Amino acid sequence: MRTRSSAAASPTDALVDTPIIRLRGVNKSFGKTQVLHGIDLEIERGQHVVLFGPSGSGKSTVLRSINLLAEPDSGSLQVDGVEYGPGLPGEAGVRRGGRLALRRKVGMVFQQFNLFPHLCALDNVGLPLRKVHGMGRQQARDAAAVALRQVGLLDRAGNYPAELSGGQQQRVAIARALALEPEVILFDEPTSALDPELVGEVLKTMRLVAETGMTMVVVTHEIGFAKEIGDLNVFMEDGRIVETGPRGFYENCSSDRAREFLRAVM
Ligand SMILES: Nc1ncnc2c1ncn2[C@@H]1O[C@H](COP(=O)(O)OP(=O)(O)O)[C@@H](O)[C@H]1O
Ligand SMILES: [Mg+2]
């Protein structure tokens, strides 16, 4: 796999201290129900972030806010120093970006893979390259082949999703995200829909992605994997971030709720 430089080029680079993702005061409601309450989260380039907490606590909505699948009602969503959300009142002079520009920077992998059933693996990976990056058919296929090789599935390029195991389908979905060469990849419970014996191959692929220095935000209840990759660990409940911590968090978290939750899932 390609290795990415994890920091900006020189100390004089203005972006050196800019978090790759910065959420401040993000609120989100569906109808009358407020599901995110003032989410603040800063993610550094190259960091591997684990987001965990009970079902319905807002983890998916946080991920979906980061790529505007769910638009924040208020608050700031900055990626690479550019504002994509409503912004904060009184904060002037911040460059604003559009949805397509954001989609080039932020890739996503879903629990249910979301592959097109009528396209082979190669075209599933290649289609977004044509739509998002405007590549021609052959260029997209070449880039898709490189990404499939990265996840160890080049030999399955011509297979349709129904001809692949769930683990292989999820690896195709990871290849699809990688091929776009994003700054960040969001993973929303990527192994939760898999039979237990298929979880390992997907975690292995995610480990390889992590080793390239890719910034990753992962919602998972695979606590063993979380302990292994989590540089920053975020526990959510009821639409709020309750507690965050660095490596070692799972042994040392201080809130009763996080400890209780971990006891239940570990
Ligand atoms: N599109 C939606 N419309 C209405 N309610 C939603 C929608 N998406 C999520 N919710 C609600 O928002 C809350 C948080 O959901 P979600 O972010 O999916 O939680 P988690 O991923 O932690 O299980 C839940 O109560 C859920 O029912
Ligand atoms: Mg969810």
**Integer CA distances (angstroms), 187 to 50, 75, 130, 247, in order:** 9, 23, 22, 19
Average pLDDT value for the chain: 93
Alpha carbons 25 and 28: distance in angstroms, whole number: 10
Name the residue with the closest Cα to ligand 1, atom 17: 58
> CA angle, 211 as apex, 1 and 218 as ends, to 5°?
115
Nearest atom (ligand 1) to Cα of 62: 17
Q: At what angle do helices 166-179 and 196-211 cross, to 10 degrees?
A: 20
7 pLDDT above the threshold of 60: no
Mean pLDDT score, 231-245: 98
User: What are the residue ranges of helices labelled H in 106-218?
Assistant: 121-133, 137-150, 166-179, 196-211
Q: What is the pLDDT of residue 92?
A: 84
Q: How far is the CA of 100 from the centre of ligand 2 (A)?
A: 24
9-13, 62-66, 78-82, 222-226: the lowest-pLDDT one:
9-13
- Of 3.90.920.10, 1.10.3210.10, 3.40.50.300, 3.90.1150.10, the CATH number of 45-60+99-265 is 3.40.50.300
Q: Pick from 218, 214, 215, 213: which is nearest to 203 by CA?
A: 218
- For the CA atoms of the chain, what is the radius of gyration? 18
Tokens of 262: 């971990």
Closest-lying ligand to the alpha carbon of 61?
1
**How many other CB atoms sit within 10 Å of the CB of residue 222?**
21
Confidence of residue 193 (pLDDT cuts 50, 70, 90): very high
Whether the CB of 97 sits within 6 Å of ligand 1: no
Whether the CB of 65 sits within 6 Å of ligand 1: no
**Integer CA distances (angstroms), 106 to 11, 38, 130, 132, 265, in order:** 25, 22, 16, 12, 29
First to last CA, the chain: 32
Q: What percent of the chain is modeled with pLDDT above 90? A: 88
182 pLDDT above the threshold of 90: yes
Whether the CB of 52 sits within 6 Å of ligand 1: no
Q: What is the pLDDT of residue 1?
A: 56
Q: What is the pLDDT of residues 41-61, one digit of tens each?
A: 999 999 999 999 999 999 999
Q: What is the pLDDT of residues 136-162, one digit of tens each?
A: 999 999 999 999 999 999 999 999 999
Mutate which of 23, 35, 50 for ligand 1? The one with the most ligand atoms within 8 Å of its CB, which is: 35
Confidence of residue 8 (pLDDT cuts 50, 70, 90): very low
Q: How far is the CA of 245 from the centre of ligand 1 (A)?
A: 24
Nearest atom (ligand 1) to Cα of 57: 22
Q: What is the pLDDT of residue 266?
A: 80
User: Per DSSP, which regions of the chain are E strands?
Assistant: 21-30, 33-43, 48-52, 74-79, 82-83, 106-109, 184-188, 215-219, 232-237, 240-245
Q: Which helix (H) or strand (E) holds 262?
A: helix 256-265
Confidence of residue 6 (pLDDT cuts 50, 70, 90): very low
Domain boundaries, the chain: 45-60+99-265
Confidence of residue 87 (pLDDT cuts 50, 70, 90): very high
17 pLDDT above the threshold of 60: yes
Q: What is the pLDDT of residue 16?
A: 60
Q: How far is the CA of 188 from the centre of ligand 1 (A)?
A: 13
